[in-house]
A and B are shown apart, each in its own frame.
Chain A
Amino acid sequence: MESTQATNHVSYLQHKPHKIGILNWILSTDHKRIGLLYLYSIMVFFIVAAFLGLLMRIEKFAPGETIMDAQTYNGVFTVHGIIMIFIIVIPGLAAVFGNFFLPILIGAKDVAFPKLNLFSWYIYIAGAILALISQFASGGAPDTGWTFYVPYSADSSTNVIWALTAAFILGFSSILTGLNFIVTIHRLRAPGMSWFRMPLFPWSIYATSWIQVLATPIVGITLLMVIAERTLNIGFFDPALGGDPILFQHLFWIYSHPAVYIMILPAMGVVTEIFPTFSQKPIFGYSAIALSSVAIAAVGYFVWGHHMFTTGISYWSRWFFSFLTFIVAVPSAIKVFNWISTMYGGSIDLKPPLLWAIGFIFLFMIGGLTGLVLGALATNVHVHDTTFVVAHFHYIIFGGMGFAFFAGLHYWFPKMFGKMYNIKLANISFIITFIGFNVLYFPLFIIGLQGMPRRYFDYFPEYQYGHVISTIGAFILIIGIFIMLFNFFRGARKGEIAPANPWKGVTLDWQIESPPTLLNFDEIPVITEKPYTFKKEEEA
């Protein structure tokens, strides 16, 4: 507690209480270091899963067996899905930027429960390792798809139990992180920061955390039930024993649909921070954005059935879920309009973070509008389980969440590391990634509409043109991503020293040193006005 001014001003990266370097990381309860721990783990897994995705694309370059057989392909798409969903995008933005910037943005020194925070990272790593083991243990990689649909997941002889346990454990980590953030936001806001003076990223994290806390246990118990079905002869989902496979889908999507909002809400929060800064203009419709986060979380909890339109659920049930799916599009659209209005009339500075954020809007719009095609009952039947669906959710998850993640990295990189990356190279990597992304996923919409099913390792020759274009796009995309990662690594090692406020932001994160000191603030700030209040004299 008795820290002098001098030790106070050591950046969190230089604060090293332990002699052995790695201990400073794995024993640190500093929310910033934990955020970086998540960032590094996620990056490693991202490269693995992206590589698996590339393998799938190469396999589909030509009809028939190209580089792997059907069973390997089943394993690869399952592993790709499990890693991408459970290890990367669900913790993703919330765990990295939430940990790093949530306390800073609300003027706190740390999260509410720092030890619990580190503990969640350990649980996360345990789950991730278990997921990796499931790929290599004898029995073969799980081949159920990341959705673990029964009855197949109850019968498959592959390592499904390992993967189920991994998902269960990862869910536990997610719950504890959410719990931590909710208490942090309730209890640790700086004096004067009322709910409606809170920046919008914390708002989106708040909504996300509630979903994490309230939806994840449902999938936890569901996965346990599948494990019980495989090991204990308890057949809740086995028709031979009276069970109901559709019930599994209900339970699974009660979690997994809200999980989509766990992914996208923090992404929306990040770009909401970016637009005002690079337009030098207050956010348009502050309360609308804040409340639409909560509305998305609330309504998003009740639309799970739109994944099940073709399973034979009741007519009224389909009607109800379809209707709510259209309703949930409204708050998302409110946000998009507000972002655009924020830029309107602002002094726009087209730096890499803004480029990525605009890319986010563009891709998220395509993903969202094709989502309505899927949410409408009649068209859903036509495109169900085709690559149209694959393209749709990649536009949302990668184009939305992924691009927002990269936007956030470009935005906060100078704050996190105190160094600057090469702006020109960042622009180039954005353009290559953006082009590669669209070349990769857009053809899947078209061949999906024509009837190309998802999860098939082989296809009829008439779909080949689409698959070839798509595979070329995959290579372009990978190149773009590697340029970006290279730029970050070089920036972190020998980039220029970044000033405390390179983008002229006005939120609390830009009022402190880069990189922040151990306790973020010398003195807890007192908040007297709304966030995003840009003063004229600052521009001079």
Chain B
Amino acid sequence: MEDKKHHISSFNSLLMVLIGLFIMTGISVMITEIHFSTFSVGVALLLASIKGYLVLTYFMHLKYDEPIFRIMVFLILLLFAIVIGITFIDYLLR
């Protein structure tokens, strides 16, 4: 604690993030009602990614913590994406 002041998220900002999350949940549910089939899943996943980003950044406080955490999270998610991609080199091209 001595080294530097800890950032405190305000109640209001947390509430705003929550409302944003609710809105995006609503949108993703409504979009699937329209039945775009594959496309709607893509949109739903895109919205989920934005929601995940918000949770990581604000709720999990990544925006204000040491940069090393942000780097780690980014690399880990990248790694997972690459693993999925490589697996699909097999499944899509078989």
A–B contact (CB under 8 angstroms): yes
Within A312-329, which residues are at the interface with B (CB < 8 Å)? 312-317, 320
| A469 vs B87: C-alpha distance when bound (angstroms) | 42
Q: A186-B68, A302-B86, A320-B86 are in contact. Are A214 and B93 (CB under 8 A)?
A: no
Do B93 and A254 touch across chains, with their CB atoms under 8 A apart? no
Do B94 and A313 touch across chains, with their CB atoms under 8 A apart? yes
| A312 vs B93: C-alpha distance when bound (angstroms) | 11
A301 in contact (CB, < 8 A): yes
CB-CB < 8 A to B92: which residues of A?
A: 314
- A317 closest partner in B (C-beta): B90
Do B93 and A315 touch across chains, with their CB atoms under 8 A apart? yes
For residue B94, give the distance in angstroms from its CB to the closest CB of chain A: 4
Within A276-332, which residues are at the interface with B (CB < 8 Å)? 301-302, 305, 312-317, 320
CB-CB < 8 A to B94: which residues of A?
A: 312-314, 317
State which of A186, A214, A250, A301 has its C-beta within 8 Å of the C-beta of B90.
Answer: A250
CB-CB < 8 A to A301: which residues of B?
A: 79, 83
For residue A155, give the distance in angstroms from its CB to the closest CB of chain B: 25
Do B89 and A314 touch across chains, with their CB atoms under 8 A apart? yes
- A312 closest partner in B (C-beta): B94
Do B90 and A254 touch across chains, with their CB atoms under 8 A apart? no
B41 in contact (CB, < 8 A): no
For residue B47, give the distance in angstroms from its CB to the closest CB of chain A: 26
For residue B31, give the distance in angstroms from its CB to the closest CB of chain A: 28
For residue A312, give the distance in angstroms from its CB to the closest CB of chain B: 8
B14 in contact (CB, < 8 A): no
| A317 vs B68: C-alpha distance when bound (angstroms) | 34
B60 in contact (CB, < 8 A): no
| A316 vs B90: C-alpha distance when bound (angstroms) | 7
| A444 vs B89: C-alpha distance when bound (angstroms) | 34
Do B82 and A302 touch across chains, with their CB atoms under 8 A apart? yes
Q: A186-B68, A214-B76, A250-B87 are in contact. Are A317 and B82 (CB under 8 A)?
A: no
Number of interface residues of A (CB under 8 A): 15
Do B76 and A317 touch across chains, with their CB atoms under 8 A apart? no
Do A305 and B83 touch across chains, with their CB atoms under 8 A apart? no
Do A314 and B79 touch across chains, with their CB atoms under 8 A apart? no
Do B82 and A316 touch across chains, with their CB atoms under 8 A apart? no
Do B90 and A305 touch across chains, with their CB atoms under 8 A apart? yes
State which of B76, B83, B89 has its C-beta within 8 Å of the C-beta of A254.
Answer: B83
Q: Is the interface of A mostly helix, strand, loop or mixed?
A: helix
Count of CB-CB pairs between chains A and B under 8 Å: 33
CB-CB < 8 A to A316: which residues of B?
A: 89, 93
Q: A214-B76, A301-B79, A320-B86 are in contact. Are A314 and B93 (CB under 8 A)?
A: yes
Do A317 and B79 touch across chains, with their CB atoms under 8 A apart? no
- A303 closest partner in B (C-beta): B86
Q: A186-B68, A214-B76 are in contact. Are A317 and B83 (CB under 8 A)?
A: no
| A203 vs B94: C-alpha distance when bound (angstroms) | 39
| A197 vs B9: C-alpha distance when bound (angstroms) | 37
For residue A261, give the distance in angstroms from its CB to the closest CB of chain B: 14
For residue A291, give the distance in angstroms from its CB to the closest CB of chain B: 16
Proximity string of chain B (56-94) to chain A, C-beta cutoff 8 Å, 1 when within and 0 when not: 000000000000100000001001001100110111111
| A540 vs B43: C-alpha distance when bound (angstroms) | 73
CB-CB < 8 A to A246: which residues of B?
A: 90
- B66 closest partner in A (C-beta): A186
B68, B82, B89, most chain A CB atoms within 10 A: B89
CB-CB < 8 A to B83: which residues of A?
A: 254, 301-302
For residue A180, give the distance in angstroms from its CB to the closest CB of chain B: 16
B68, B76, B86, B91, most chain A CB atoms within 10 A: B86
CB-CB < 8 A to B91: which residues of A?
A: 314
CB-CB < 8 A to B86: which residues of A?
A: 302, 305, 317, 320
CB-CB < 8 A to A250: which residues of B?
A: 87, 90
For residue B41, give the distance in angstroms from its CB to the closest CB of chain A: 20
Do B90 and A314 touch across chains, with their CB atoms under 8 A apart? yes
| A250 vs B84: C-alpha distance when bound (angstroms) | 11
- B82 closest partner in A (C-beta): A302
| A58 vs B82: C-alpha distance when bound (angstroms) | 45
| A250 vs B68: C-alpha distance when bound (angstroms) | 31
| A312 vs B87: C-alpha distance when bound (angstroms) | 13
- B80 closest partner in A (C-beta): A214
CB-CB < 8 A to A254: which residues of B?
A: 83
- B86 closest partner in A (C-beta): A302
- A320 closest partner in B (C-beta): B89
CB-CB < 8 A to B89: which residues of A?
A: 314, 316-317, 320
For residue A314, give the distance in angstroms from its CB to the closest CB of chain B: 4
| A246 vs B82: C-alpha distance when bound (angstroms) | 19
Within A237-263, which residues are at the interface with B (CB < 8 Å)? 246, 250, 254
| Complex A-B, nearest 7 residue pairs according to Cβ-Cβ distance, in ascending order | A317-B90, A314-B93, A314-B94, A313-B90, A317-B89, A316-B93, A314-B90
Which residues of A are at the interface with B, using a C-beta cutoff of 8 A? Answer: 186, 214, 246, 250, 254, 301-302, 305, 312-317, 320
Q: A302-B82, A317-B86 are in contact. List 7 more A-B contacts (CB 8 A).
A: A246-B90, A301-B79, A313-B94, A314-B93, A315-B93, A317-B89, A320-B89
A sample of 20 cross-chain residue pairs with beta-carbon separation below 8 angstroms, ordered by A number, consists of A186-B68, A214-B76, A214-B79, A246-B90, A250-B87, A254-B83, A301-B83, A302-B82, A302-B83, A312-B94, A313-B90, A313-B94, A314-B90, A314-B91, A314-B92, A316-B93, A317-B86, A317-B90, A317-B93, A317-B94
Which residues of B are at the interface with A, using a C-beta cutoff of 8 A? Answer: 68, 76, 79, 82-83, 86-87, 89-94
